[in-house]
Chain A
Amino acid sequence: MKILENHRLIWSRLMVGFCGLSTLLISGLLLLVLGYITLHGLPGANLNFFTRLPAPVGMEGGGLAQAVAGSFILIGLACLIGIPWGIGAGIFLSEVGKDSWWGEGVRFAVDVLSGVPSIITGIFVYSILVVKLQSFSALAGGVALGIIMVPLVARNTEGILQLVPQGLREAALALGLPFWKVILKIILPTAARGIGIGVTLAVAGVAGETAPLFFTSLSNNYWSLGLLEPIASLPMEIFRYATAPFAAWHELAWTGALVLITIVVSGMLLARILLPGYNFRR
């Protein structure tokens, strides 16, 4: 009997130990990836990277300024689509269509849409914009990233609005405020911070998207401000430079990756600090 008891305890300790080890392994993986990126990327992270255009092969001192700028332009365009559409859908999910079969359907569509691989979104936008306009363009890239943003923003908005106490809605309605005023003037301002953080996370999420840009914005070695021209972006340049056979270009790619990671992780840290405890959905 005593042996049997011990056996159970030992087995339990072993399994709990395995679970703990798995967690340790995951943390180790993160350190490994982040460590390498910092190690290889940091030496190249100087002013040149952010202010210069790429230098020709064999020349020293080029940067990826046009890609940093391009990424910001693409993200700005994506926000124009992703934020209003996402927040609108989020409001619908939380306030209007809640508990109806129709709301469930929309929620399902949001979930399905967030599972669509980004390469598919890229092909879709290629088919409706690039083929029609007969050119790869910043506009197409922005639309693709925007579509990817919508479900992210919608789900986070819905989640945050759910945290607003029901009593607040009831009190406002009891005072005779019309429904839309309750939402726009009372509920949204209450939840503004959370919604803002949700948007930040969505932006950080699409900042690193690469696959859809292959089919939409492509890339560019020079500055480009026209919305109907191909435009450079950090992720695309990282890919081009990493797959090229020159060591100097690889360094640029590592630094690009470091910049990208910094954007993503600082967005997440911000969310953690400003809204501790809330679990943003992916």
Chain B
Amino acid sequence: MSRDLFRGMTAVLSLGLVLLVFLMAFVIWQQAEASVQKSGWEFIVSRHWDPVHEEFGALPYIYGTVISTMLAVLFAGPVSIGAAIYLAEFAPRRTKALLAFVVDVLAAIPSIVYGLWGSFVLAPFLRNYIEPWLGKNLGFLPFFQGSPFGLDMLAAGIMLAIMSIPVITAVAREVLETVPDGQREPLIAMGATPWEVVRIGVIPYARNGIVGAFTLGLGKAIGETMAVTMVIGNEPKISASLFSPAHSMTSVIVNEFAQATSVLHLSSLIHIGLLLFGLTLLINVLARLLIYQMSWRVKKRNENT
């Protein structure tokens, strides 16, 4: 009797969690409905965002999110993968624990603190040193034209990179550590160099898990709010130049939510939230599937031997 009661209680709490995900989706959809019905798919391709005339198109914000996230993954990718490999394969045991802690702390620093640091330290540094240099030497490229602002797309990309590095590193490291030694030993026996062991034995085996780690980092970067809002410049521009201020899906919601007086304006902001929710849901499901598949394979292999 009470056995079933106890099981039932934990089951209800868990069921509640699953329901919560659906409830969130439903409620946000409901709030966004006014805008969904008025703008439809036009919402995604139109670049007119004019609350006074009640015209809403989210393209500049989607553009800002997509580009800043891509920059983040571009910057964070090599560093995170390198660090994950070092931590999993090469680091001496003692330093390993310390370095893993460093990565954890970096992941735990609140977004608002990164934002503060980014707007007062990173942005001026970019404006005064990096961006003038890039403009002078690589100014023929469309990405590095215009006057340096500091609070711009480049700053947002770097900020997001710094914030997704610990996520990608930590997950990729865990994935690499699940690779069985049977993948390494034969190569070592044949006289492979340490890097060849990693390249031939470890990375191909862990490929899906590593892609999963990247996808998780991407999901984190897309939903990131405070740090981006504080460094991206908050102007709805679509410009090829990374020196141009921009806006992102999260930053526009934070910036305009309090001033949104009309129902449609509020609904349009939540519409952006809905798109964001759908996107992160998709990305996270994908990432988890990739990582699960990897750990299933390891489990199966262990059962067979």
Contacts and interface: CB of A to CB of B under 8 A. Distances in A.
A96 B17 CA distance: 15
A123 B28 contact: yes
Contact of A27 (B90, B99, B288): B99
A210 interface: yes
Interface string A148-177: 001100100000000000000000000000
A52 interface: no
A111 B17 CA distance: 11
B117 interface: yes
A178 B3 contact: yes
A180 B24 contact: no
Contact of A108 (B9, B85, B166, B288): B288
Interface of A: 8-9, 11-13, 15-16, 18-23, 25-27, 29-30, 33, 36-37, 40, 84-85, 88-89, 91-93, 95-97, 105-106, 108-113, 115-121, 123-124, 127-128, 147, 150-151, 154, 178-180, 183-184, 204-205, 207-211, 214-215, 235, 238-239, 242-243, 250, 253-254, 257, 260-261, 264-265, 268, 272, 276-277, 279-280, 282
Contact of B10 (A22, A88, A205): A88
Contact of A97 (B14, B27, B196): B14
7 contacts: A12-B195, A22-B79, A30-B102, A89-B10, A93-B14, A119-B273, A180-B7
A88 B254 contact: no
A113 B82 contact: no
B14 A242 contact: no
8 nearest A-B residue pairs (beta carbon): A208-B110, A117-B223, A22-B82, A180-B6, A115-B284, A12-B193, A88-B13, A12-B195
Nearest to B171: A282
Interface centre among B80, B85, B105, B226 (most CB of A within 10 A): B226
A88 B9 contact: yes
Interface in B54-89: 78-83, 85-87, 89
Given A88-B9, A96-B7, A120-B28, A19 B82 contact: yes
B254 A214 contact: yes
Interface of B: 2-3, 5-7, 9-11, 13-18, 20-21, 23-24, 27-28, 30-31, 78-83, 85-87, 89-91, 97, 99-117, 119-121, 162, 165-167, 169-170, 174, 193-196, 198-199, 216, 219-220, 222-226, 230, 250, 253-254, 257-258, 270, 273, 276-277, 280-281, 283-285, 287-288
A124 to B, nearest CB: 5
A120 B280 contact: yes
Nearest to B24: A124
Given A8-B193, A26-B106, A242-B230, A16 B90 contact: yes
A211 B225 contact: yes
Given A108-B288, A117-B224, A211-B225, A238 B273 contact: no
Contacts of A239: 112, 115, 226, 230
| Residue of B10, B174, B253 with highest tally of chain A CB at under 10 A | B10
Contacts of B162: 29, 33
Contacts of B114: 33
Contacts of B116: 37, 238, 242, 253-254, 257
Contacts of A36: 117, 120-121
A96 B110 contact: no
B168 to A, nearest CB: 11
Given A264-B109, A272-B101, A279-B174, 6 more contacts: A23-B82, A88-B9, A123-B28, A179-B6, A242-B230, A257-B112
Given A119-B225, A215-B257, A260 B110 contact: yes
A149 to B, nearest CB: 12
B165 to A, nearest CB: 6
Contacts of B90: 16, 19-20
B17 A19 contact: no
A36 B118 CA distance: 11
Nearest to B225: A211
A205 B114 CA distance: 14
